[in-house]
Amino acid sequence: MTETPSGNLEPSASQPTDFERITQIVSAEFQVEEALLYEGVPTYYLKMPQETKQAFLRLLMKLEEIKLTAFLRRKDTRVALTILMKPPIKPSNPIIYWVLFTATIATTFITGYMSFQDSAMNPILSGAIFSAAIMTVLGLHEMGHKLTANKRKVEATAPYFIPGPPPLGTLGAVIMQKSLPPNRDALFEIGANGPIAGFLVALVVSAIGLALAVPTIMPPDASTLAQPIAWRILIPILETLNLIPPVVPPFNGYALNPIVWAGWAGMLVTMLNLLPAAMLDGGHVARSLVPDKLRYVLTIASVAILVLTGYVVFAFIVVFMSFMKHPGPLDDVSGVSGRRKLAAIALIVIFILSFPIPTIAT
């Protein structure tokens, strides 16, 4: 998951002073209809239509040299460009990373130690395996965000891992963005690349865990793991390849192991993060693609899905996060490219494949 900066990066009283020089820079990239100082802030109303996406990126590079930044917004029927001083980036405290990282290793180890005591595996080994697997899934998910942010020149922290109680031992991980994405393309990529990376890693971990699964006899009233739809496809493939033994009578299921549990958790995290709501990864994607009114509808639908599927705690978290206004990218006028719109379809498929469907022991 990624957290975007708060609205304090919107146009404010932090104002540049050399209006004539700034006007020359802006006019070299855009056709300007009107230039003025609005409450001391250089503001330019642009002639439309004109190409804005690449022109804005070039403008940002020029403004970077003189420690300025820009916002491109629609104001009623006009397109306004405002120039501000670039806010300073506060350095992160590495001690916080390491404390949270160590604490999450401890809580995931304890979860793995306690959760598989009925199996033949040494509990210390099960704790270590589960901790390593779940930390890998979460870490690579967040690195998908981090590497994309670096590529797009968006300031972002390293992943903060969040310790938690069993049955997962963690509440996930998050990176904090310290600057805004330059445009909607970048916002889309930063939001999307984490779940894509996380899903692929969770799929590999799930395959390894399922390949190591042992058939077992489950009583009719036994609680069973809600299988992601991807598992419904993956298990028959692994059985066909003779990588796992088929479930035949008297067996009616597989015994849970730490790697399977980590793969399942990774699928769950992917599904939750792809909900098109608030500051979730899917919320960033939705912010880049759809208007605000539709995003509110998608948020309500996301909360309803969580409640109806029993994830009530996560529903409350989404509701709480929804009160925070999404600041959007610096250029909130230029649209998302067609290639990324097609990628949105892939994200919907990943969401569906990651969705857990309850099973009943037979």
pLDDT, mean of residues 256-275: 94
CA-to-CA distance for 265 and 197, rounded, in angstroms?
14
Helix (H, G, I), strand (E, B) or coil at 37: strand
**Percent of residues, the chain, with pLDDT higher than 70:** 94
The answer to whether the CB of 328 falls within 8 A of the CB of 290 is: no
Residue 50 token pair: 């004109």
The answer to whether the CB of 205 falls within 8 A of the CB of 137 is: yes
336 pLDDT above the threshold of 60: yes
Q: Is residue 232 part of a domain?
A: yes
Confidence grade of residue 231 (pLDDT, cut at 50, 70, 90): very high
Q: Is residue 302 part of a domain?
A: yes
Do residues 54 and 152 both lie within one domain? no
Which residue is it, tokens 């919320």?
283
The residue type of 228 is P
Do residues 127 and 257 both lie within one domain? yes
Range scoring the smallest mean pLDDT among 88-92, 163-167, 279-283, 334-338: 88-92
Do residues 28 and 121 both lie within one domain? no
Q: What per-residue confidence (pLDDT) applies to 359?
A: 61
Do residues 11 and 153 both lie within one domain? no
Q: In whole numbers, what is the pLDDT of the chain averaged over residues?
A: 90
CA-to-CA distance for 308 and 358, rounded, in angstroms?
13
Q: What per-residue confidence (pLDDT) applies to 232?
A: 93
Segment (H or E) for 230: helix 229-240
Question: Among 85, 118, 136, which residue terminates a domain?
Answer: 85
Confidence grade of residue 169 (pLDDT, cut at 50, 70, 90): very high
Confidence grade of residue 11 (pLDDT, cut at 50, 70, 90): very low
Helix (H, G, I), strand (E, B) or coil at 34: strand
Do residues 23 and 135 both lie within one domain? no
Do residues 138 and 54 both lie within one domain? no
Do residues 102 and 65 both lie within one domain? no
Q: What per-residue confidence (pLDDT) applies to 219?
A: 74
Q: Is residue 362 part of a domain?
A: no
Do residues 54 and 159 both lie within one domain? no
Q: What per-residue confidence (pLDDT) applies to 360?
A: 43
pLDDT, mean of residues 87-102: 92
The answer to whether the CB of 79 falls within 8 A of the CB of 52 is: yes
Do residues 295 and 345 both lie within one domain? yes
10 pLDDT above the threshold of 70: no
Total domain count for the chain?
2
Do residues 152 and 49 both lie within one domain? no
Cα separations (Å) of 49 from 78, 136, 233?
10, 47, 48
Q: Is residue 291 part of a domain?
A: yes
CA-to-CA distance for 264 and 243, rounded, in angstroms?
19
Confidence grade of residue 244 (pLDDT, cut at 50, 70, 90): confident
Q: What per-residue confidence (pLDDT) applies to 362?
A: 37
Report the C-alpha dihedral over residues 24, 26, 31, 35, rounded to 10 degrees: -80
CA-to-CA distance for 3 and 279, rounded, in angstroms?
6
Segment (H or E) for 324: none
The CATH number of whichever domain residue 70 belongs to comes to: 3.90.1070
Q: What per-residue confidence (pLDDT) applies to 74?
A: 94
pLDDT, mean of residues 227-255: 87
16 pLDDT above the threshold of 70: no
Alpha helices in 116-171 (DSSP H): 123-151
Helix (H, G, I), strand (E, B) or coil at 190: helix
Domain with 228 in it:
94-357
Q: What per-residue confidence (pLDDT) applies to 222?
A: 66
Do residues 130 and 60 both lie within one domain? no
The answer to whether the CB of 295 falls within 8 A of the CB of 18 is: no
Q: Is residue 108 part of a domain?
A: yes
Higher pLDDT, 172 or 253: 172
Sign of CA dihedral 138, 139, 143, 146: positive
Q: Is residue 184 part of a domain?
A: yes
190-205 pLDDT, tens digit each: 999 999 999 999 999 9
Question: Among 64, 85, 106, which residue terminates a domain?
Answer: 85
149-164 pLDDT, tens digit each: 999 999 999 999 999 9
13 pLDDT above the threshold of 50: no
21-77 pLDDT, tens digit each: 999 999 999 999 999 998 889 999 999 999 999 999 999 999 999 999 999 999 989
Confidence grade of residue 14 (pLDDT, cut at 50, 70, 90): low
Q: What per-residue confidence (pLDDT) applies to 215?
A: 82
Do residues 13 and 124 both lie within one domain? no
Question: Among 61, 85, 109, which residue terminates a domain?
Answer: 85
Q: Is residue 10 part of a domain?
A: yes
